[in-house]
């Protein structure tokens, strides 16, 4: 499975690409059905919102669940990931972000690659994420905001935020460890404008590790659940990989090239 040339050019220029209807509604339902079980079985990669009452994210679901393990091997995802990175790929990270109705908290402006570079020692930005909408996403339920073209600024160095929680928890909280400053956001938006990633469930959105993004609180009565799969090129494994800095649910240890498996045609 491949991205056509004009879509690929658009991805390279803007730093993201939206593909509506990439995943069937039956498969989305299977992915959603698992979430109830996850919330009943707490795991180290399960993260609560600040109030400590509701889940914010489930990390590393592919490590313990067959449906998510099949998802990472889907030809519709593996093909474009290999094409964009021009290499075989493995999963560096997978998460489901829940952003629940009325209470899901925000994600400040940031880039993703700085976390993989600083925390995991991933040497280059030969790494790509694909977000899959598990709900219909509108302007009301906390969509991601992108600054088109902002990936072209490269990895923007920033100091650790002083109010961010220590350790990996800061990397997934609403007070993120590495944020892009308001003055940088102003000048990037001046150049590239803003784009909000909205669409129906089953939509996939590819985005570059250096694309600057954020998302607001969800005060609507509609939940906003997404899965984000981050594929890394097998030639771009973390330096000193044996040190294994962050837990496996953030810094995947299985770095063998992924092989296709299509759950939709195997059940």
Interface contacts to Mn ion, rule CB under 5 A:
112
- State in angstroms the smallest separation of the CB of 193 from ligand SIN: 19
Number of amino acids touching ligand SIN (CB under 6 A): 8
CB of 89 to ligand SIN, least distance (A): 19
d(CA 78, CA 8): 15
Q: Which residue is nearest to Mn ion (CB)?
A: 112
1 vs 46, beta carbon nearer ligand SIN: 46
- Bin 104: left if φ > 0, else alpha if -120 < ψ < 50, else beta: beta
* Residue 107 touches ligand SIN, criterion: CB under 6 A: yes
Q: How far is the CB of 24 from Mn ion (least distance, A)?
A: 26
- Cβ closest to ligand SIN, residue 19 vs residue 111: 111
- CA 135/CA 222 separation, integer angstroms: 9
Q: Report the residue from 97, 100, 125, 210 that binds ligand SIN according to the rule CB under 6 A.
A: 97
Q: Which listed residue (92, 201, 213, 225) binds ligand SIN by CB under 6 A?
A: 213
Q: Does 127 bind ligand SIN (CB under 6 A)?
A: no
- Assess 55 for contact with ligand SIN (CB under 6 A): no
What value does the CA radius of gyration of the chain take, rounded to a whole number of Å?
17
Question: Is the CB of 70 or the CB of 205 nearer to Mn ion?
Answer: 205
Minimum separation from the CB atom of position 164 to ligand SIN (A): 14
Decide whether 173 or 256 has the Cβ nearer to ligand SIN.
Answer: 173
Residue ranges in 224-253 that form contacts with ligand SIN under rule CB under 6 A: 226, 228
Q: Report the nearest approach of ligand SIN to the CB of residue 107 (Å).
A: 4
Interface with ligand SIN, residue 144, by CB under 6 A = yes
One-letter-per-residue 3-state SS of the chain: CCCCHHHHHHHHHHCEEEECCCCCHHHHHHHHHHHHHHHHCCCCCEEECCCCCCEEEEECHHHCCHHHHHHCCCHHHHHHHHHHHCCCEEEEEEEEECCCCCCECCEEEECCHHHHHHHHCCCCCCEEEEEEECCCECCCCCCEEECCCHHHHCCCCCCECCCCCCHHHHHHCCCCCECCCHHHHHHHHHHHCCEEECECCCCEEEEECCCCEEECCECCCCCCCEEEEEEEEHHHCCCCHHHCCCCCCCCCCCCCCCCCCCHHHHC
Cβ nearer to ligand SIN, comparing 5 with 109: 109
215 binds ligand SIN (CB under 6 A): yes
Q: Which residues are at the interface with ligand SIN (CB under 6 A)?
A: 97, 99, 107, 144, 213, 215, 226, 228
């Amino acid at each position: 499975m491949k991205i056509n040339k004009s879509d690929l050019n658009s991805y390279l220029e803007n730093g993201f690409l939206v593909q509506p209807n990439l995943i069937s509604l039956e498969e989305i339902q299977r992915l959603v059905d698992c979430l109830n079980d996850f919330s009943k079985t707490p795991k180290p990669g399960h993260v609560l919102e600040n109030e400590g009452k509701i889940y914010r994210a489930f990390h590393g679901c592919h490590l313990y669940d067959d449906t998510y393990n099949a998802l990472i091997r889907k030809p519709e995802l593996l093909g474009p990931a290999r094409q964009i990175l021009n290499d075989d790929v493995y999963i560096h990270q997978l998460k489901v972000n829940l952003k629940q109705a009325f209470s899901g908290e925000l994600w400040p402006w940031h880039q993703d690659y700085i976390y993989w570079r600083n925390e995991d020692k991933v040497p280059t930005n030969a790494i790509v994420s694909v977000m899959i909408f598990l709900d219909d996403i509108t302007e009301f339920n906390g969509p991601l905001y992108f600054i088109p073209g902002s990936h072209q600024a490269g990895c923007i160095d920033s100091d650790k935020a002083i109010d961010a929680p220590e350790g990996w928890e800061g990397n997934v909280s609403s007070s993120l460890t590495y944020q892009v400053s308001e003055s940088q956001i102003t000048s990037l938006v001046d150049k590239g404008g803003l784009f909000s990633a909205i669409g129906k469930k089953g939509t996939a959105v590819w985005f570059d590790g250096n694309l600057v993004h954020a998302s607001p609180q969800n005060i609507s009565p509609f939940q906003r659940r997404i899965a984000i799969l981050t594929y890394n090129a097998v030639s771009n494994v973390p330096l000193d990989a044996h040190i294994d800095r962050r837990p496996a649910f953030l810094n995947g240890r299985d770095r063998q090239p992924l092989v296709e498996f299509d759950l939709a045609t195997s059940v």
